[in-house]
Structure 1
């Protein structure tokens, strides 16, 4: 249930262009065109975003209001979106639109009967801009409920070019090369990775990238649905590969003990802060925003990234996360909410936030020129180019009890594995036991 990009503070701003679009008022599953202006209407949008993310999303909402006359209100949901929405529905005060951060939560909402199918207008626009995989993640049964508006690229490794230069290493193309480069960094006086082991979600992301590349997308999909047991040899193999890094103090700055006391922001600081303690940090594209805004780093100059490399002869992985817009049946103005989602489906809506920073769109029709710098353009291009090979964060597809709860399930078991990576087979058995209980319930 974690949201990796909640930790970002982005201060960049951009002028919002006035867009010349006409919108149709759409009911459930329909595409009927209505007046562009709907003065007096109001739409309530709930989501986990705070700080600069909320501020920049409001720029999108403000443009929608300027174009349609529909007022918008953003309500922070907190990280537990499911509990928030359930309580609002029960209290008769449901929001119209919810930005859902997990596939599993979207599926839960649909199965509870809380959602309206998205309009044919949204579906058509999405089909023109989103790879089928993104549409599939928003579909439950045969019904399209969730428009993926914001994405995270979780297959990027961030580093300081100066550290690489001093160690005489270049960006690696394979996982084995990555470990060699890390040891060369350590030999030059700087440990390889700052690992954010205090936050269990970062460890699930490490596992998912290795597993997707090493085991392949078919097994990844089956494991995500628990159609494949966690005791499968492919899981043990991925844990063994991950353990090669976890057990090496040259590769993990300060060793496991320090890693388990380092949260995500702290891991970025260890690489890009005033007193660097590591040469690299693995996480999503949002690392660049933290390095730039918190530590004054210049993206593409003293801060850069390379794709998570291929593992064991597989293809380089592209793991993503994202937020999907859904429309609640019990919202007071779900028709206007549907109109908002139609706007969010357009490239123009995404380009507003792209210009403000701290954002990636999975929409291939969003102009790369809209992004604020070359580094963000590169991550956006890589995400879109991956097409249907993108796989959604596996732990976000799992029940929260297994894939999204601090101190429990996958988070805790991978923290235990970081502490002692000597028994991959035993860890796989524990993961299977926890997963079975969570999926059964």
Structure 2
């Protein structure tokens, strides 16, 4: 599957060495083609142009708008294709620059009093600007449209004091990946205990069922960090998960320790993870999930995000050798809640052109056109699943965005500062190597926020 470099890059300034690997995965084609920009004859493009014209009607707009984002290369071209519809419909030239150093570039521009009109940022960074009063209030500009187009809890993650400060475009949820040809576990379970029981039974039979590679250079451990967060959310719920991400629940708490221990007992324990714990920490994410589709198979399941098929490559064929189900929950009350990976676009100049562009970016026609370009799942819940050429993206869209029973939550994955993220990843690696080191490792993470 492809979901673009942008998906991990949406928060991947933290793991620079791994970003290249995941970026390659998300730019790969698994079961569907790369985007083709045949705009003139494209009804989705035409609808986006018409939406831009509607938004611009009667509004005095500037000649151009500047945006700095994280997507570059082919992924940047995909976004620019969508923004071209805004230009055609409104007459405003969108001057887009893609850079992996978005946060640093934007920070220097803000400090100099010359911010870009729009910036695509990691959520925690965007929240800092919102708290400082540097972002545009989108609720006042087009709040009704936002409420109609996006999941309520998703809007809460992009709000401060009741004011929406940003817009999501592409998003990557997390799931359990499996190979339908080799998987022997429970069918789309909602109860995590079913996965625990099956894993234990397979381990007793001599079968290690999990792939959980952690190798990513200086950012090794970040896949495990995201696995721990999934288990936390599904066991303790969104309120505690949000508190953890905000620094209000200590890393040394029983809840955080419990999520680590659940991860250790089921996913990376000896006899349960392919290659054993040492194999998990020493195997690169570039190849460490190939075991799902290899012949013979080296594992049966992996808990990670929408980019897993892209990491695997050509042997991951949607519906044949790769499929997914949502992450089961320890507490059934928390099954509807899901993690996600995404950046967020914010307005940094309080101008009609900035508001118009963000309104367009959030609109159903614009995100429908973006979906049709087949790069990644989009956040707007009203985009029809059949818009995506990829069957796998259609399935993700139906299960996570169109079903109406999913609530997204943001925690450490999106809100951590760099030092905390690095310590978190190191704690994962330390814990896999030596489970007895957990208390000390969590104290080290906690020290980064005190």
Tell me what 1:298 maps to: 317
TM-score (norm 1): 0.83
TM-score (norm 2): 0.82
Asked whether the equivalents of residues 350 and 366 of structure 1 are also in contact (C-alpha less than 8 Å), the reply is yes
Tell me what 2:425 maps to: 411
> What are the equivalent positions in structure 2 for 1:258-273 lying under 5 Å apart?
258-272=279-293
> What are the equivalent positions in structure 2 for 1:211-226 lying under 5 Å apart?
211-226=232-247
226 and 191 in structure 1: CA distance in 2 versus 1, 3 angstrom threshold = same
Instruction: Give the whole-Å Cα distance in 1 for the aligned partners of 2:437 and 2:444.
Output: 16
Tell me what 2:229 maps to: 208
Cα-to-partner distance string for 1:185-222 (whole Å, 9 max, x where unaligned)? 66888632221312322112111111111112222222
Tell me what 2:3 maps to: none
127 and 169 in structure 1: CA distance in 2 versus 1, 3 angstrom threshold = closer
Tell me what 2:419 maps to: 401
Consecutive unaligned residues in structure 2, runs of 5 or more: 1-10, 14-18
**Paired residue secondary structure (1:72):** strand
Cα-to-partner distance string for 1:368-406 (whole Å, 9 max, x where unaligned)? 221223332222222234657321243312223213xxx
- Give yes or no for the alignment of 1:152 onto 2:161: no
Tell me what 1:28 maps to: none
What's the offset of the Cα at 1:119? 6.4
214 and 62 in structure 1: CA distance in 2 versus 1, 3 angstrom threshold = same
Tell me what 1:319 maps to: 339
- Give yes or no for the alignment of 1:287 onto 2:296: no
Residue from 194, 197, 209 that aligns with 2:214:
197
What's the offset of the Cα at 1:72? 1.9
> What are the equivalent positions in structure 2 for 1:58-73 lying under 5 Å apart?
58-73=80-95
What's the offset of the Cα at 1:58? 1.9
**Paired residue secondary structure (2:286):** helix
> What are the equivalent positions in structure 2 for 1:159-198 lying under 5 Å apart?
159-164=178-183, 167=184, 170-182=187-199, 191-198=208-215
Instruction: Give the whole-Å Cα distance in 2 for the aligned partners of 1:238 and 1:305.
Output: 22
247 and 421 in structure 1: CA distance in 2 versus 1, 3 angstrom threshold = farther
- Give yes or no for the alignment of 1:328 onto 2:339: no
Residue from 408, 433, 436 that aligns with 1:390:
408
Cα-to-partner distance string for 1:37-59 (whole Å, 9 max, x where unaligned)? x6x82222211123443232222
239 and 344 in structure 1: CA distance in 2 versus 1, 3 angstrom threshold = same
Asked whether the equivalents of residues 246 and 411 of structure 2 are also in contact (C-alpha less than 8 Å), the reply is no
**Paired residue secondary structure (1:75):** strand
> What are the equivalent positions in structure 2 for 1:5-404 lying under 5 Å apart?
6=23, 7-10=25-28, 11-14=33-36, 15=38, 16-17=42-43, 18-19=46-47, 20-21=50-51, 22-25=53-56, 33-34=58-59, 41-78=63-100, 80-90=101-111, 94-100=115-121, 102-118=122-138, 120-154=140-174, 156-164=175-183, 167=184, 170-182=187-199, 191-198=208-215, 199-272=220-293, 276-291=297-312, 294-311=313-330, 315-316=334-335, 317-329=337-349, 334-384=351-401, 385=403, 389-403=407-421
232 and 321 in structure 1: CA distance in 2 versus 1, 3 angstrom threshold = same
> More deviation in 366-375 or 266-275?
266-275
Tell me what 2:442 maps to: 431
What's the offset of the Cα at 1:92? 6.1
Instruction: Give the whole-Å Cα distance in 2 for the aligned partners of 1:370 and 1:179.
Output: 36
**Paired residue secondary structure (2:316):** coil
Asked whether the equivalents of residues 210 and 273 of structure 2 are also in contact (C-alpha less than 8 Å), the reply is yes
Asked whether the equivalents of residues 131 and 387 of structure 1 are also in contact (C-alpha less than 8 Å), the reply is no
What's the offset of the Cα at 1:121? 4.2
> More deviation in 222-231 or 186-195?
186-195
What's the offset of the Cα at 1:144? 2.2
Asked whether the equivalents of residues 272 and 295 of structure 1 are also in contact (C-alpha less than 8 Å), the reply is no
Aligned length: 413
Instruction: Give the whole-Å Cα distance in 2 for the aligned partners of 1:191 and 1:372.
Output: 35
Instruction: Give the whole-Å Cα distance in 1 for the aligned partners of 2:295 and 2:372.
Output: 28
Tell me what 2:434 maps to: 420
Asked whether the equivalents of residues 157 and 409 of structure 2 are also in contact (C-alpha less than 8 Å), the reply is no
85 and 173 in structure 1: CA distance in 2 versus 1, 3 angstrom threshold = same
What's the offset of the Cα at 1:125? 1.1
Instruction: Give the whole-Å Cα distance in 1 for the aligned partners of 2:314 and 2:294.
Output: 6
What's the offset of the Cα at 1:349? 1.0
